[in-house]
Amino acid sequence: MRIVLLAISLLCGLALRAQESSPTPSPSAVQADTSRIPKDYEMLEDSASPDGRFAVLSPVRNEKNDEENGPPYPPNLLVRLNPYALLAKVKTPGLPKGWRNTLLVEWSGSDVVAVWENAKWGIADLSVYEIANDKLKRTHPVFREARKYFDRDFRQRFLKKYPKEYPSYTFTSDWKGEEPDFEFKGRKLLLNLYAENKPNVAPGPIWSAQLRATWNLDTGKFEKVDFPPGEIGIRKAED
């Protein structure tokens, strides 16, 4: 009898340990149902929400030009997958053939999503979308508002001094990943954006600026901004 009880106790202990060691499936492991999406669209890679209910769709790339596809080329979409419903057009145009920029997605829970465009040198656009009751609750034009600081400084400090310089600048990212362009912290989005006018290290007048800011999702605006403009100088040509 003691042997039987000991065996039962041992089996129960092993079963309990197995349950404790088995990982619980994470919300991100939920399989997204793409059976209802339009035939000319496909789900953007890694764009499904953690609960698998929402995703970003991109038009299927083809050989057609903008005029043949529309015009204009179809936009990217934020959707509810099943039952299918369009929540927002998140980026226009979509991903035409030859377009080297990429669209990326990061979720904060299953009701807040950041959609950003990654270009050759780094981030080129960023918006945050809030979902409530299966509908779009609010759009946060974070990048557009952040860019206003750079535009003003670039015009007032640089172009006034060097009016013949090309009137454009580029946002560059930390490719090592030590300082991400943005990250969610609860109901806030922390930004770290850097821009310069000659990321290709070309000679001539140079300008740069950096913005560190906090965007509040509850108020829909910046609550803290640190914008230290960089020095304006002349880069000499390499021998």
What is the distance between the alpha carbons of residues 17 and 228, in angstroms, rounded to a whole number? 55
Q: Where are the domains of the chain?
A: 25-140, 142-239
- Tens of pLDDT along the chain (239 residues) come to 444 443 444 444 444 444 443 333 344 457 889 999 999 899 999 999 999 999 999 988 767 666 676 666 788 999 999 999 999 999 766 666 566 788 999 999 999 999 999 999 999 999 999 999 999 999 999 999 999 999 999 999 999 999 999 999 999 997 666 789 999 999 999 999 999 999 999 999 999 999 999 999 999 999 999 999 898 999 998 74
What is the distance between the alpha carbons of residues 124 and 143, in angstroms, rounded to a whole number? 8
pTM: predicted TM-score of the whole model, two decimal places: 0.82
What is the distance between the alpha carbons of residues 134 and 234, in angstroms, rounded to a whole number? 53
Structure tokens at 238: 């390499």
Q: Residues of 111-136 as b/e, b for ≥16 C-beta within 10 angstroms? A: bbbbbbbbeebbbbbbbbbbbeeeee
CB neighbours of 181 closer than 8 A, spacing ≥ 6?
116, 122, 123, 126, 173, 174, 191, 192, 193
Q: Which helix (H) or strand (E) holds 138?
A: strand 135-140
